[in-house]
Amino acid sequence: MEFRYLGNSGLKISEITYGNWLTHGSQVENDMAAQCVRAALDEGISTFDTADVYANTKAETVLGEALKGERRESLEIFTKVYWPTGPGGKNDTGLSRKHIMESINGSLQRLQTDYVDLYQAHRYDTETPLEETMQAFADVVRQGKALYIGVSEWTADQIRAGVELARELNIQLISSQPQYSMLWRVIEDEVVATSAELGVSQIVWSPIAQGVLSGKYVPGQPLPEGSRATDEKGGADMIKRFMRDDVLTKVQDLKPIADDAGLTMAQLAIAWVLQNDNVAAALVGASRPEQVAENVKAAGVKLDADAMAAIDSALGDVIERDPGKTKETSPQTRVV
């Protein structure tokens, strides 16, 4: 495992970070989830990312149990706040002071820890003044409940405004957590450029495009049993944008590139996002321990210029680059 600094801070995190979205508390039984976390620890992963909304708080509980007994100082634990939790009442969502202060307490209890290393705004809240949100985050930091602040799926302008307020409040906003993969490059032109200027790193989710870049979905063939594309609990909805025949056909053209690099297609996809200097970590999940061991082999891999060019050529016009997609895919009004 290799480690990278998160933003313009002194915090180092594992460049392969374990995330438990769509798995713990829903798709994967608790004992298997614990085995996956143990496999991550055994492979040198020290950074774990979750959110209160995952499985409506159950994912945090599962992760807290799985990490119980580990030396806290050797771990970096991240969680998030924004989406509706609990019964979904009028104040059970968003980035109001009320929801943030109540949510951090719930997350810490479920994670069985006194603090999280990174507390992230899971989306931008268009209905709460940013000043209110950042003041609440500052108070969470001053209370010792979080060490650093981050955001997820914010636009470049939103990140800039957040960083400016954070600096006025003397706290550190050091990370952005967007979707990023060979197929989904919408952050490159604006979010990455702005983040690099401001000292903010990317912790990217879905580097394998929900499994599409593993090559397991073949045009004209039945969907693999038990795969994300067959998951009616949410996985199928997330993956459907990539399940077009033109995308799946071009993904198959990546196989010889992966073979030449001595990697599986999934490892190639993870290694690709880590070539971006502004990326601090790639988030990977797992439903089986052996998947963790395979994903970790992407750590430290350097892809040469020929391989990077070959990837671009293979995927061609199925790559999504429009920076406007960041705002498009985020809620424009608060979700209740």
Sign, Cα dihedral of 133, 124, 168, 176: positive
Region of 123 please: left (phi>0), alpha (psi -120 to 50) or beta: beta
Residue in 6, 18, 11, 4 with CA at minimum distance from that of residue 48: 18
Q: Is 193 helix (H, G, I), strand (E, B) or coil?
A: helix
Q: Distance between CA atoms of 300 and 267, rounded to whole angstroms?
A: 11
Q: Which structure tokens are listed for 136?
A: 């609440």
Active site residues: 54
Residue pointed to by tokens 């082999």: 297
CA 62, 63, 66, 68 dihedral sign is: negative
Of 119, 176, 148, give the one whose Cα is nearest residue 11.
148
Long-range contacts of residues 27-32, Cβ cutoff 8 Å, at least 24 apart: 27/231, 27/233, 27/235, 27/287, 28/287, 30/62, 30/65, 32/287, 32/288
Residue ranges of E strands in 122-238: 146-151, 173-176, 201-204
